[in-house]
Every structure is written in structure tokens, then in C-alpha cells.
Homo-oligomer: A and B are copies of this chain.
Amino acid sequence: MIRSLTPALALLVATAALAADPPKPATPASVLERAPAGDWAPVPLDHLMVMELAGGGRVAILLAPEFAPGHVGNIEAMAKAHWYDGLWIDRVQDGYVTQWGDPDDKKPLPPGAVEKLPAEYERPVAGLAFKALPYRDTFAPQVGLVGPWPVARDGATAWLTHCYGMVGVGRSNSPDNGNGMELYTIIAQPARQLDRNITVVGRVLWGMEHLTALPRGQGAMGFYDAKVKMLPIVRVTMANELPASDRPHLEMLRSDSASFDAWVHIKANRKDDFYVRPAGAIDLCSALPPVREIK
């Protein structure tokens, strides 16, 4: 942990130093800076959802129809119908989740969305370009990336994992009543015990701090104990329905690129000045493809 900003800036400057200086070991940041443009891919707008919060926070969530087509279809129908507008962030449980939607669980769904959907906890590996990480995982025989997604697999079955920023569909005790009326994201350590118990539908790509830096709910399990304490959702829109000037312009490092491989390798084997002992490994949730905003 850098003790203050000054040495950190010195390090950043050193990393960008002239070729005449002795070469500095690569850092995750320097790998990203040097990545060719083609190793970044624009985040597609058709499955990108934008949530605008009271106070001006904007959150961009990429949805995963490859893993949860039914739930993603439902959520997109709800977003297109502006079903989420005027609802709330109703739960912030420290160390666990931020959740939003209809706290009363009774707002009627719009045409095109249904109350009950079969669980989409896992899918066949077949048809997926699975790129394995070469490190042990506590929960699954193998983990890796499928396009932008952190994925665990077990033989022929694959599933999305509960990493920081991943978004899932709240449900009650019945596995088939998650429909998108309540969504949540992981705001602390991964909650991998939820994997294959909940339908995971996406990842917060931008604006995560608007969901983490919130007062914690004082009710049971971090629910807010009064509606007046909840942060209102102004509007949820699919990005491609926003005016062009209002759309997020995000790029994500392609997980099938050489730069991604280098970035993962350097994260697992830090040799820049600060580090005295490279970890020799990286966990799946620390290997989510980096995202940048194009201004």
C-alpha cells in the first residue's frame, strides 16, 4: 500500500520515463497503457443498461444474455418500459450487497415481462470460448473468462461467479421467482456461496462507487428501515435508447487478447518497485477485464 501520493506519482512518472533510463518492470497500468487499440473492444450498447440515481450518479451495467437469456430478456423489457423509474435502492448490507428495485414487491410488470422464470444458474460449456486461468480456485475445478465474464466450470457445465460488481436477480426461497424486480450487486468480497443458487445477469462496468459509498441500511440484512432513507432511482434505460450524446462510451480489454494475458500475468507476478514478493497467482475475481471510458 502506497503510503502517500508523492511516491506513487514518482512511480507513475518513472514508468513513463524515457527509453534511455534502465527499463522498469511492467505494471498492470503500464500493460494497459501499451495495449494496442485492437485489444480493446467497445462495450456493445444493446445489452448495456444505464441506471441514473438521485444525486446524479450514473451506473452502467452490462447484461449477459449468453448465460441468462430469460432473465436478461425480462430485465430489458422492464427497462424499456421504464418499470424501474421511481423505485429505490432499498438495501445496502455492509460487506455483502447493494440491492435495488421494488421494496414492496408488488409493482405490476409491463407487457413482455413475466413474474416467474425458470432458474438460469448454469449452462453448458459447449458453445462458449472458455479461457482458463492457470490458478487454483477454492470453489470450482476450473475458472476463467468467457468474453467479458468471470466463469467457473465443472466438466461440461459453466456458471457466472459472484465477484465484486457482478449483478444478480433477487428471489425468495423458491428458485423460480426471480424476475428482475430486485437486482443486487456484490460490494465487498466475492460471495461465491451464492454461485449456482441465484441467476447472475451482468456486471457493473462503470459507476460502481454510486452503489458502494452509500449509507448502510439499519434494518435486518441491511434493508433500509424506512422508505425516506432509500436512494431513489430516477431512470433505468437501455443505452441504445438514450440520445447519442448521453450514451456511455466504454471499452473493455478483450479477454482473448495478448494484452489481457500480459495484464493477468503481471497482476499475478508483480515485480515493480513496491513489491518484494510476487504472489505467483491471481484469483478469478481480480481478473475481471478492465474497463475504460472514452471521452
A binding-site residues for B, Cβ under 8 Å: 1-9, 11-12, 92, 94-95, 97, 99, 103-105, 119, 121, 135-139, 163-165, 168-173, 175, 177-178, 181-182, 184, 187-190, 192-198, 208-209, 212-216, 219-221, 223, 267-268, 270, 273-283, 285-286
Inter-chain contact B3/A182, CB cutoff 8 Å: yes
A189-B212 contact, Cβ under 8 Å, with A1-B170, A5-B223: no
Q: Compute how far the CA of A178 lies from the CA of B214 in the bound complex, rounded to whole angstroms.
A: 31
Inter-chain contact A138/B168, CB cutoff 8 Å: no
Q: Compute how far the CA of A12 lies from the CA of B273 in the bound complex, rounded to whole angstroms.
A: 51
Residue of B nearest to A214 (CB): B213
CB neighbours (8 Å) of A281 from chain B are 138-139
Inter-chain contact B198/A209, CB cutoff 8 Å: no
CB neighbours (8 Å) of A139 from chain B are 279-281, 283
Give, as a whole number of angstroms, the nearest-CB distance from A171 to chain B.
5
Inter-chain contact B274/A8, CB cutoff 8 Å: no
- Could you jot down 27 A-B contacts, CB within 8 Å? A1-B168, A1-B169, A1-B171, A2-B172, A2-B221, A3-B171, A3-B177, A5-B223, A8-B221, A94-B208, A94-B213, A95-B208, A95-B212, A121-B276, A135-B138, A136-B138, A137-B138, A187-B212, A188-B188, A189-B283, A189-B285, A192-B283, A193-B268, A195-B279, A196-B276, A197-B275, A209-B216
Residue of B nearest to A94 (CB): B209
Inter-chain contact A94/B1, CB cutoff 8 Å: no
Give, as a whole number of angstroms, the nearest-CB distance from A68 to chain B.
14
Inter-chain contact B283/A197, CB cutoff 8 Å: no
Residue of B nearest to A91 (CB): B5
Residue of A92, A181, A198, A212 ringed by the most chain B CB atoms within 10 A: A212
Q: Compute how far the CA of A146 lies from the CA of B235 in the bound complex, rounded to whole angstroms.
A: 48
Within the complex, which residue of B5, B95, B173, B270 is in contact with A11, where a contact is CB–CB below 8 Å?
A: B173
CB neighbours (8 Å) of A209 from chain B are 94, 216
Give, as a whole number of angstroms, the nearest-CB distance from A264 to chain B.
12
Q: Compute how far the CA of A104 lies from the CA of B94 in the bound complex, rounded to whole angstroms.
A: 30
Residue of B nearest to A96 (CB): B1
Within the complex, which residue of B9, B104, B190, B221 is in contact with A220, where a contact is CB–CB below 8 Å?
A: B9
Q: Compute how far the CA of A165 lies from the CA of B188 in the bound complex, rounded to whole angstroms.
A: 10
Contacts A4-B223, A136-B136 supplied; 6 other A-B pairs, CB < 8 Å? A1-B99, A3-B172, A139-B279, A193-B267, A209-B216, A213-B215
CB neighbours (8 Å) of A268 from chain B are 193
Give, as a whole number of angstroms, the nearest-CB distance from A197 to chain B.
5
Within the complex, which residue of B105, B121, B212 is in contact with A6, where a contact is CB–CB below 8 Å?
A: B105
Inter-chain contact A189/B188, CB cutoff 8 Å: yes
